A = this chain, B = another copy of it.
Amino acid sequence: MILAFDFGGTKNTCAAFQRNATGAYELVARERRASPPQADGAYDYAVMGAMARQLLRGETPDAIGISFGGPARASQGLVVLSHHVPGWENSLLRDQVAREFRTRVAMDNDANAAALGEARFGAGRGCASLLYITVSTGVGGGWILNGEIYRGAKELAGEIGHVVIDPHGPPCVCGRRGCVEQLACGRAIARMARQALEREPTRGGILRGLIENDYAQLSGLRVHQAAEQGDALAQDIMAQAARNLGFAIGNVICLMNPARVILGGGVTNAGAKYFENVRAAARANVMPELRDAVDIQPAQLGDDAPLWGALALVG
């Protein structure tokens, strides 16, 4: 039995994997707990341990893979910090788990884990190289090159969310302007929608109804829902967010020519039209000889990608 830990920031999940008769891994059991507002690192760690022991029923696991939702150094098994939960700073999480469960443990951040999960078990099977991008409240990414996670010299590779595509664009939390994240993530969609609603008082009726005329209720999901219901303003915003992401992906393809780019995260649940717009913008932003090399696919493992990736780290 192999365990996978997914420290997700707002929720923590523990899954048990076993090989079936054909030798393929199956997710045979899982436990999940929301991380309460007062949680700190020690609390989340204790809850994960309790879930693990529940799944193990006294057995020793063959290995444990860990996906951590935040900056982490895989080579050292070190959590740098969590953006959601205090008290994780500079934790040697990998070795702590290895001591407690007396087994082999590997760890990586959630974007790298999800990339590996999709590569081995999801939308990236058969691809030697891929970039996995998660478009959610923020934008993150992870590289698989030659079949393995590529982490970069300081284990900070994959930050497509902070590639600048418009130096005059909106300010970013990183201190610069016009990062992909600020032009494509859920919060960006909400911000762009609010600006459009303020600018165009006669448009966006469906969206205004959905949020009860309360801008505080604006979210990427609401804008997507309004677009689905035919709101032209919301459709414009969703298309713009998709084009912004696609433009950035085109640049990535010129630079790295990956076999595939895989999009996961809540915003990418926006459906076929969203993907059409991303692909069209990417194709328009590569050299002619690379147009056929634009292969952008939806993730297949959803929220489970980090768990499958954690499995792949040790399986």
Which A residues are within 8 Å of any B CB, using their own CB? Answer: 71, 127-129, 141, 143, 145-146, 150-160, 162-164, 167, 174-176, 247, 250-252, 254-260, 284-290, 292-293
> Closest CB of chain B to A90's CB: distance in Å?
14
Q: Using A153-B259, A159-B254, A162-B287 as known contacts, list a sample of 11 further A-B pairs with CB atoms less than 8 Å apart, ordered by residue number in A.
A: A127-B153, A128-B153, A129-B152, A146-B150, A152-B258, A154-B257, A156-B293, A160-B254, A163-B251, A167-B247, A256-B256
Main DSSP-derived SS at the A contact region: loop
Most chain B CB within a 10 A radius of its CB, from A152, A158, A258, A259: A152
Each complex incorporates copies of this chain amounting to 2
- Are B257 and A255 closer than 8 Å at their CB atoms? no
**Which chain B residues border A145 with CB–CB below 8 Å?**
145-146, 150
Partner pick for A153 among B174, B254, B293, CB 8 A cutoff: B293
- Are B257 and A162 closer than 8 Å at their CB atoms? no
Question: Given A128-B153, A152-B129, A293-B156, does the pair A285, B251 have CB atoms closer than 8 Å?
Answer: no
> Closest CB of chain B to A175's CB: distance in Å?
6
> Closest CB of chain B to A238's CB: distance in Å?
20
**Which chain B residues border A129 with CB–CB below 8 Å?**
152-153
**Which chain B residues border A154 with CB–CB below 8 Å?**
257, 290, 292-293
